[in-house]
Amino acid sequence: MCAGSTSGAAPPWIGVLNSDPGQDRNDESGRAVDVSVTIWGFIGSGNIGTTVARLALAAGHDVVLSNSRGPGTLAGLVDELGPHVRAATPAEAAEAGDVVVVTIPLRNYPQVPAEPLRGKIVIDTMNYYPQRDGNITELDDETTTSSELLAAHLPDSTVVKGFNNISFQHLAALPRPNGARDRSALAIAGDDDDAKKVVAEHLDQIGYDSLDLGPLAEGWRTQPGTAAYGLMYALNPQVWDQGARPASAIEVAARAAASQRQHHPRDAPSTTPSH
């Protein structure tokens, strides 16, 4: 199960803050997750998508990549990554994936194909950058979150927020075996506990513990400009490309607890994770 995953009124990560640091990592006991799911579909194949794909392949999974320019533009990447990856259209990647990662600029979320994602778990890595995406009123006034926008667009899918607050360089550098003392945790948020268990299992297989932030609406705690947005994974918080450092579930939970909503998304750090 993912660290801090509970039911009830209190945010799941509160229990992590009060836990024994020695019990900070995912607990394998009692997990009942189907681990036979092995195909990761990707809608978007930028820095984050390609990095997650590499980790999935290293864990023995199969990958279907897509982008907005067509499968032919991914031929070189497919050749580089090997026989367990193929290129497809976004609709084909959505259809093929047992779990599908949406990792495109947020402004393009209405283009995500809804029908082939019906009944599927969708991992949303997207962040709102007004300077790139244009202003979105519901996000500027904080009446919703970016992942809730995607969930509204995909009413028959189950959206889980993840991978949005770590740079692709740090994501590539920090995987560790299960049980390693220096294993990092990644925050997730979602409204379906079973879907979060599946995502947590997949994170475990690619080298990460997970921290359950609670419902999808709590995903704002790791959005740009918050205390939990990337800094804890950087060796130098001022210059994110100078190396990575592990961040445990306790540290990620503390950052999430310190996050505040009294800011405008334009106030995000000038150095941001590349998606």
* pLDDT value, residue 36: 55
Answer CATH for 12-267 from 3.40.50.1820, 3.40.50.720, 3.40.50.10860, 3.90.650.10: 3.40.50.720
SS3 content of the chain, % helix, strand, coil (to 5): 40, 15, 45
pLDDT of residue 8: 44
C-alpha 115: how far from its chain's center? 22
- CB distance 203 to 196 below 8 Å: no
User: Considering only CA atoms, which of 180, 232, 237, 242 is closest in space to residue 207?
Assistant: 180
Per-residue pLDDT of 76-119, as tens digits, reads 999 999 999 999 999 999 999 999 999 999 999 999 999 999 99
State pLDDT tens for residues 54-82: 999 999 999 999 999 999 999 999 999 99
Nearest alpha carbon to residue 128 among 225, 259, 241 = 225
Question: Would you place residue 34 in the very low, low, confident or very high pLDDT band (cuts 50, 70, 90)?
Answer: very low
Res 238 pLDDT > 50: yes
pLDDT band at 269 (very low <50, low <70, confident <90, very high): very low
pLDDT the model gives residue 267: 44
pLDDT digits (tens, 9 = 90+) for 114-173: 999 999 999 999 999 999 999 999 999 999 999 999 999 999 999 999 999 999 999 999
HSE (side-chain half, CA atoms, 13 Å) at 93? 31
State the chain's mean pLDDT as an integer: 87
| Whole-prediction pTM | 0.86
User: Which tens digit of pLDDT belongs to each residue from 166-205?
Assistant: 999 999 999 999 999 999 999 999 999 999 999 999 999 9
Closest to 188 measured CA to CA, from 202, 169, 170: 202
* Res. 224: pLDDT tops 90: yes
